[in-house]
Structure 1
């Protein structure tokens, strides 16, 4: 232990204190054993990059240990999106809901528009169907976690009464059934569909989920003004980069001499004939249908940043 403390001092590390708990391990007995054995450390440079980070403890839902959650308190809220759950087809009236939504008549001549309407109808009906089955289960799951957390906190300062201790045991058992649905969601989030039920608790399973989250999240970007860590600063840096790159014409020091390639020529094919007015209107109508009856959508662009190399730090690395 002395060497460990010396190593912490030599590395100039400091502990990140938990905001809502004093102990991280509680062995459930009438007279519980409370120990603080889980710690988070950081250096001054990391603390300057993430000044609003916060360490919170969750409930001891399915273990004697309480998970520690380290996150940025200023993280922007994500807009709710529809996500298909892999366990839905095993529940009643799933296939009937999809058939009813998909086979309803759509009055539109454009194939792209019909497909968009069918997908939107199916999404809306599945949301209504799933909320009637799983919304209450999810609410019960979070209520059980919150009650267990409050009992954990109360146990640190006093012994639980007999009704409180029995309530704690009841919610622990109830939570196992509710966690089965959450387990299926996490299994789908890991993208490891070949895992069996007993493999879900392995370190590889959880490492795969965390790896995907870290891979999809851009923690920071190196800019000319420093390091951007907040959502607003990163969005501004990305917009400034692509605004200067897209649509701009750069100088080309070299070109291609097409005559040296000796490509075959096509004569008499009518490729250079002028377009007729009917052809122009047909092309315009196809673009109009592809845009979903909204021409403004043709000028909108969705940029997805994919790292081109490991350790990408600047916008041009994506």
Structure 2
């Protein structure tokens, strides 16, 4: 893993360097998986046929030591492949409440195929008309959720925050550069067992390869601290998808959008949230609320 990470041409931009190295690592890991594991179902079928032929041969003659050894090895391999096959199927259906002995592999395959068909949007009702073209549905979804976000409007009044709580806090720690300990603490608190991001990696990769990728990630955080976002778009993309709220969803208001972002963007958000949490922990809820909260808009808006 270390050789694969460092063999990529070193780019002066840490964002682009991390992006290219993650892509190279993903290709190498997929190649390694194909060589070491291969097609699981095909290997299961071959092992099953060989075991059946060796068992049938035992009915007519005594197996040789080599055949006995081969049969034991095939059974070990078959059990390992069967466990791997079931784990892959369970990951496809995302049923965390399902126990290991509650169902068989056929149910997992059927449920995964059903979810894939159910999540596909065939048509949408937009302004009393039915839209079936994928590009038109994407454009309608973009307009719908953009309108929900709204725009900034001028207000004649605002909230005087100093009237709510006139205490002052020392927030100078938030202006300090990101430290290695802060980044590592955020990595350890990232949720585990989640779907991989656009770069095909999860938080488990950060835990396992932190000693290898640490320097590049720390340099990228330093660039963010300097408010230099050049090249950050490589790691700040998101894939949006719509999840139906019910079985008969037909309009965009009956769908819930979710996003799939890069692993580095998840880590940045986690580090910022932990920094904000420490700052908020030093303050307590306000004990006095003033009744005169409405002031002219010349005050600083919240």
Q: TM-score range by the shorter chain?
A: 0.3 to 0.5
Select the structure that is richer in helix. 2
Larger RCO (CA within 8 A; separation ≥ 6) = 2
User: Scaled by the length of structure 1, what TM-score is found?
Assistant: 0.37
User: Scaled by the length of structure 2, what TM-score is found?
Assistant: 0.38
